[in-house]
Homo-oligomer: A and B are copies of this chain.
C-alpha cells in the first residue's frame, strides 16, 4: 500500500493554481472526448432526502492517460447552518494499466473548482469574440470569482460587473476582484448587467431563469455553468433559440441536467440532434463562432473527463517529489 500517494487539500492548493497549464489540460480533455475512445459512463447520483444531501460520482477513462479518476462530490445543504460549506469531496486515481489505486486526492472539492473554472476559460477561448474586454458574472460565489479569473487567462478582460441575488455579496466580490488592471463593480439591475458584458457567465444555483433572452445583444457569448442537475435552470429557454450557436460540454448530460433540458422541456428548442460539443469546436470539426455579431452559448454541466484530466495533471505536478 506504500505506493499509494495521498495528497491533502493544502498540498494540492499549494502546487496547483488556475493557470494556463490547467486551461490547456482541460481543453485537451475536451478535444480527446471529441476524438473518441473516451469512456464516460452516466453520473451515479444518489439523493438522501432525510438528510437533505446528495452524492454524485463521476468517472471517465481517457486512452493514453496513465490513470483515471473517480470523483465523489457530496452536496449537503444543511451544512451552512453547521458552519460548513455544502459541497466537499475527493478523487481517487486508478492506474489505466492495472486498475490499482495510485492516489487519493483529498482535495475537498478544490480540483473540481479548478477544472470547472478552466472549462469556462476553454469555452470563452473558443466561442467568445477575440476582442472581448467586458465580462458579466451572475452569482457571487466561489465560481463567480474563479470564472472571472479564468476569463482573464484567455481574453483581454479589463472591466466586469457582478449581479447577485444578494447585492452585498456582489459588492464585496466586486471590491475584492478590482485591481491588477481589472475594474469590477456590482450591478443591481440584472438587465443592465446582462447588456454590459461581451462575455456573460452564469454561476448560480438558480432553479428559475435569471438571464432573459431579450436582454442579449449581438456579439455576446454566454457560459452557463450553474446548472448541473435536472432541477436547475439559469437561462430563459428562449436564450437557446435566440443564440446563433448552442454548444454543450456533453450533449447527453446537458439534455438531462443542463440548460438544454429546460429548453427542451419548454418545447422551445428542437434541434438537439445536431448540436456540437465543445470538443468538436476545439478539434475543428465544427467551425464555432463564424461572425463577431453572433450570440453563442456554452452549456457546461461538468464531465468526468475533466476530472480525470485535472487529477492526472495534479499527480504529474507531484511526480518528481519523493
Contacts and interface: CB of A to CB of B under 8 A. Distances in A.
Contact of A48 (B39, B90, B106): B39
Nearest to A76: B99
Nearest to A54: B99
Given A1-B9, A47-B39, A48-B39, A94 B79 contact: no
A72 to B, nearest CB: 5
Give the number of times this chain occurs in the complex, counting copies: 2
Interface string A22-60: 000000000000000101011111111011010101011
Nearest to A90: B101
Interface residues of A, number: 49
A156 to B, nearest CB: 38
Given A1-B106, A98-B82, A46 B39 contact: yes
Given A1-B9, A61-B46, A99 B70 contact: no
Nearest to A47: B39
A51 B50 CA distance: 41
A243 interface: no
Given A1-B10, A82-B98, A106-B4, A55 B59 contact: yes
Given A51-B96, A55-B99, 8 more contacts: A1-B10, A6-B6, A39-B46, A41-B46, A44-B44, A74-B99, A76-B97, A92-B92
16 contacts: A1-B106, A43-B44, A44-B44, A44-B59, A46-B59, A46-B60, A48-B61, A53-B96, A57-B57, A57-B59, A72-B94, A72-B101, A87-B99, A88-B98, A89-B101, A90-B92
